[in-house]
């Protein structure tokens, strides 16, 4: 009975990828070098594919994390749409702000003054960007108001013309040597108006608190000042530099431009955050695509190691192939046996790389802390990368594409040697045995 079953399988009556084909493929894959196997090359191929897939997942997840973190902090700190033009100094400005605020999808609209100034602390001088907003609008900007690390914003906006209390980025405050309660002098290049034109104006303010948004580009450059005080300090009278609009969904900024422009009036010009940061986000997108292409080529190269292993396996197993063919195994069976031997390496390597890459991204914060503890050095400098920690965001659709690509490359790499094994002539293989 068993002999008939075996003959039936060899005569092609067994289904493709049946039990006997899988058992032979597994036996060849585990065979030692003394038995004509290529276990060492298979291990090397497995490690290569595993590392390539893991690195691809980690790098793309970190780049996705960078984009998401930078986007959330940039858009949480500033706006999604900007309104400029004649409406800024028009008597209809407040009515335009109200009309924009009534649009569906708009969550916040507020006038802003933004200008450069020279900041002078205790023996330290540095440049700063001063943003003038109302206390209500600053409180609604939770990325700032919710991240005051020293001091408080309780006195912000209190007093004549908004008072003299300001909020300073924590890194900027440290570089200037000031802390909450200290005095900080600001110099405006256009604040003082005389008969001969604008002259620099210097005024001393009190630091009410310091904030950190987790992005050094903002923490070391920005100062918040009450809107009325900023109008006075920079000589804007009752005007503003632009009107900021925040939406419920930042991705709707482009679609909302027309509605905001109509609500703001014919004298308004509306731009969105993608236009304001076009060069930055364009470069980031190109870098991401190029990095993905390069790493996918590395996965393909790692999969090519399967070819060398299978070629040696076919050469070492020539006698076995000839015997199987003389017993009735068809060319398709031989091809499937060696295809499964090579594909198993690719599948196992891909799954291992998928697990390692995903786990690495999930615990990247703990890994960063461990490496810094072991080495005693800061491996992620916020002055260079703008963020205080390594971000990682796993995009499971992208992971699925990476997995599919690695499997496809592994399967393609097995086809040439498997096809060569199926075309082997039994007579030629046994002639010198």
Of residues 433 and 404, more confidence is placed in: 404
Range from 110-114, 177-181, 296-300, 353-357 carrying the lowest mean pLDDT: 296-300
Of residues 298 and 18, more confidence is placed in: 298
Give whole-number Cα distances, 79 to 73, 102, 215, 249, in Å: 11, 17, 16, 12
Exposed / middle / buried, residue 378 (Cβ in 10 Å: 0-12, 13-18, 19+):
exposed
Q: How confident is the model at residue 77 (pLDDT cuts 50, 70, 90)?
A: confident
List beta partners, residue 168.
Answer: 210, 223
The distance of Cα 190 from the centroid of its chain, to the nearest Å, equals 40
Domain spans of the chain, in order of start: 16-70+281-431, 106-247
pLDDT value of position 192: 56
Q: What is the distance between the alpha carbons of residues 231 and 112, in angstroms, rounded to a whole number? A: 10
Whole-number mean pLDDT of the chain? 81
User: pLDDT tens-digit profile of 384-410?
Assistant: 555 667 788 888 888 898 899 999 988
Q: What is the distance between the alpha carbons of residues 384 and 3, in angstroms, rounded to a whole number? A: 71
The distance of Cα 245 from the centroid of its chain, to the nearest Å, equals 25
Q: What is the distance between the alpha carbons of residues 252 and 260, in angstroms, rounded to a whole number? A: 12
List beta partners, residue 187.
Answer: 118, 202
Exposed / middle / buried, residue 248 (Cβ in 10 Å: 0-12, 13-18, 19+):
exposed
| 9 pLDDT above the threshold of 50 | no
| 85 pLDDT above the threshold of 70 | yes
Query: Three-class SS of residue 107?
Result: strand
Of residues 114 and 16, more confidence is placed in: 114
- Alpha-carbon torsion angle 298, 300, 303, 308, nearest 10: -100
Q: What is the mean pLDDT of residues 182-192?
A: 82
User: pLDDT tens-digit profile of 313-341?
Assistant: 777 777 777 777 777 677 777 788 888 88
| 149 pLDDT above the threshold of 70 | yes
Question: Residue holding tokens 């050094």?
Answer: 216
Q: How confident is the model at residue 111 (pLDDT cuts 50, 70, 90)?
A: very high
Q: What is the DSSP secondary structure assignment for residue 162, as one 8-state letter? A: G
Write the CB contacts of 207 (distance below 8 Å, at least 6 apart in sequence). 151, 165, 166, 167, 168, 173, 178, 179, 180, 181, 182, 183, 184
Q: How confident is the model at residue 23 (pLDDT cuts 50, 70, 90)?
A: confident
Output the pTM of the full model.
Answer: 0.65
pLDDT value of position 135: 92
H or E segment at 194?
strand 183-194
pLDDT value of position 223: 93
Q: How confident is the model at residue 14 (pLDDT cuts 50, 70, 90)?
A: low
């Amino acid at each position: 009975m068993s002999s008939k079953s075996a003959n039936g399988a060899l005569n092609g009556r067994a289904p493709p990828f049946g039990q006997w084909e899988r058992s032979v493929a597994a036996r060849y894959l585990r065979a030692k070098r003394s038995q004509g196997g290529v276990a060492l090359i298979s291990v090397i191929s497995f490690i290569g594919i595993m590392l390539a897939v893991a690195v691809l997942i980690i790098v793309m997840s970190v780049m996705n994390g960078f984009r998401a973190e930078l986007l959330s902090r940039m858009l949480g700190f500033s706006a999604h749409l900007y309104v400029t033009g004649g409406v800024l100094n028009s008597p209809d400005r407040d009515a335009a702000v109200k009309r924009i605020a009534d649009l569906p999808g708009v969550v916040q609209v507020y006038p802003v003054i933004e200008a450069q100034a020279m900041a002078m602390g205790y023996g330290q001088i540095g440049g700063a960007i001063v943003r003038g907003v109302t206390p209500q609008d600053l409180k609604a900007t939770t990325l700032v108001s919710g991240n005051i690390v020293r001091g408080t914003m309780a006195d912000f906006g209190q007093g004549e013309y908004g008072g003299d209390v300001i909020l300073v980025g924590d890194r900027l405050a440290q570089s200037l040597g000031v802390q909450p309660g200290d005095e900080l002098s600001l110099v405006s290049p256009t604040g003082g108006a005389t008969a001969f034109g604008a002259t620099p104006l210097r005024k001393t303010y009190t630091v009410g608190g310091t904030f950190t948004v987790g992005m050094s580009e903002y923490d070391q450059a920005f100062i918040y000042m009450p809107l009325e005080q900023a109008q006075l300090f920079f000589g804007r009278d009752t005007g503003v530099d632009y009107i900021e609009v925040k939406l419920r969904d930042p991705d709707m900024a482009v679609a909302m431009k027309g509605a905001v422009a109509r609500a703001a009036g014919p004298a308004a010009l509306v731009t969105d955050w993608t236009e304001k940061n076009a060069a930055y986000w364009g470069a980031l997108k190109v870098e991401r695509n190029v990095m993905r292409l390069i790493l996918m080529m590395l996965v393909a190269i790692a999969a090519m190691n399967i070819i060398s292993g299978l070629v040696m396996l076919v050469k070492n197993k020539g006698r076995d192939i000839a015997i199987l063919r003389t017993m009735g195994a068809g060319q398709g069976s031989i091809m499937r046996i060696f295809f499964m031997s090579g594909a198993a390496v690719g599948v196992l390597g891909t799954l291992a790389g998928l697990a390692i890459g995903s786990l690495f991204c999930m615990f990247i914060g703990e890994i960063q802390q461990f490496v810094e503890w072991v080495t005693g050095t800061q491996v992620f400098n916020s002055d260079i990368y703008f963020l205080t920690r390594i971000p990682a965001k796993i995009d499971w659709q992208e992971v699925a594409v990476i997995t599919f690509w690695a499997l496809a490359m592994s399967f393609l790499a097995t086809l040439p040697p498997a096809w060569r094994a199926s075309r082997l002539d039994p007579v030629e293989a046994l002639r010198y045995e």
